Amino acid sequence: MDRRVVVEAAVPVYDVSSPDEAVRIAIAKTGEMLNPDLSYVEIEMGERTCPHCSETLDPAFLAADESLVALELEMTVFDVDRDEHAARIARKEIGQRMENVPLDVLTVDAVEEIEAGAGGEGSAAPDDGTTAGAAGTGDDADDLPEFDDLVDE
């Protein structure tokens, strides 16, 4: 079963003057660390709340021109049996590329249940599309000029 894992990362950013600038730099820095090896990891701003009043706070904590930014990194782990196994794989894959960045697993959700409903609805559409696509493929081949004709022009 496939699982979608969301990991929170605390990314340090130096020499910044505003929380917005810190978030932009943290996202760019994280993208550089993860790409090209983990280009399938989605990077989003994290959500922080005050523990006392539950007020929503900025994802960046700024002090003395340095910031700590909360980011959520989401990836899908394929063919795992348990949530714990998916969480360990996600932490290992992301953690290897993001040295000295603390990671914490926020959520682990099964993907098959969500896609099974969409797949059931979409299963009729590909059958109809395949029949139309087979007829359309022949028509498309007739519409395209031959390579030799293009070279001669």
Residue 77 lies in a domain: yes
Whether 65 is in a domain gets the answer yes
**Residue 92 counted as domain residue:** yes
Residue 147 banded pLDDT, cuts 50, 70, 90: low
Output the domain CATH number for residue 108: 3.30.70
Domain assignment present for 128: no
- Over residues 82-95, the pLDDT tens digits come to 899 999 999 999 99
Residue 117: C-alpha distances to residues 18, 69, 108, 113 (Å): 44, 36, 19, 7
pLDDT value of residue 38: 77
Q: Please state the rounded mean pLDDT for residues 55-67.
A: 89
Q: Give me the sign of the Cα torsion angle 122, 127, 132, 135.
A: positive
Which residue range is the domain that position 45 belongs to? 3-115
How many percent of the chain have pLDDT more than 90?
35
Q: Do 90 and 74 meet the contact criterion of CB atoms below 8 Å apart?
A: no
Query: Would you say residue 145 lies in a domain?
Result: no
pLDDT for 39 beyond 70? yes
For 60, 61, 108, the CA distances from 75, given in Å and listed in that order, are: 22, 25, 10
- How many folded domains does the chain comprise? 1
Would you say residue 68 lies in a domain? yes
pLDDT tens readout for residues 85-130:
999 999 999 999 988 899 999 999 988 654 445 444 444 444 444 4
Instruction: Find the mean pLDDT for residues 120-148.
Output: 50
Supply the pLDDT for residue 111.
Answer: 84
Domain assignment present for residue 26? The answer is: yes
